[in-house]
A and B are shown apart, each in its own frame.
Chain A
Amino acid sequence: MSNAVKELLYKMADDALIIGHRNSEWTGIGPMLEEDLAFSSMAQDKIGHAIALYTILHEVLGEADPDTLGFKRTEKEFKSCHLVEQPIGEYDFSTIRHFLFDHAELLRYESLTQSSFQPLAQLAKKVKGEIKYHVMHADTFVKQLSNGNEESKARMQQALNNTWHLALGIFEAGEYELELTSNNIFIGEAELKKRWMEKVTPLLESYGLTIPATDESKIAKGGRKGYHTEYLKPLLDEMCEVTRTDIDAEW
Chain B
Amino acid sequence: MNTLDPRIQRLNLKREANGETQTNSHLVTYEVFHQEKRGKQAVHAGIVHAPTPELALMYAKEQYGRRGKTANLWVVKTSEVYTFSSEDEDVFETVPEKTFRDPAFYKVRDRIEAFKLKNTQA
Which residues of A are interface residues toward B (Cβ below 8 A)? Answer: 32-35, 37-38, 41, 133, 136-137, 140-141, 143-144
Contacts and interface: CB of A to CB of B under 8 A. Distances in A.
B49 interface: yes
Interface in B54-101: 54-55, 58-59, 61-63, 66
Contact of A32 (B27, B52, B58, B62): B27
Nearest to B55: A140
Nearest to B62: A38
B66 A41 contact: yes
Main secondary structure of the interface of A (DSSP, over half): helix
B54 A41 contact: no
Nearest to A34: B59
A41 B67 CA distance: 12
A34 B52 contact: no
9 smallest beta-carbon distances between A and B, as pairs: A34-B59, A38-B62, A41-B62, A137-B58, A140-B54, A34-B48, A37-B62, A140-B58, A140-B55
Given A140-B55, A141-B55, A34 B66 contact: no
Interface in B12-38: 27
B19 to A, nearest CB: 25
Contacts of B51: 144
Given A32-B27, A41-B66, A144 B52 contact: yes
A41 B66 CA distance: 9
Given A136-B58, A144-B54, 16 more contacts: A32-B49, A34-B48, A34-B50, A34-B59, A34-B62, A34-B63, A35-B59, A37-B59, A38-B58, A38-B59, A38-B62, A38-B63, A41-B62, A133-B58, A140-B58, A144-B55
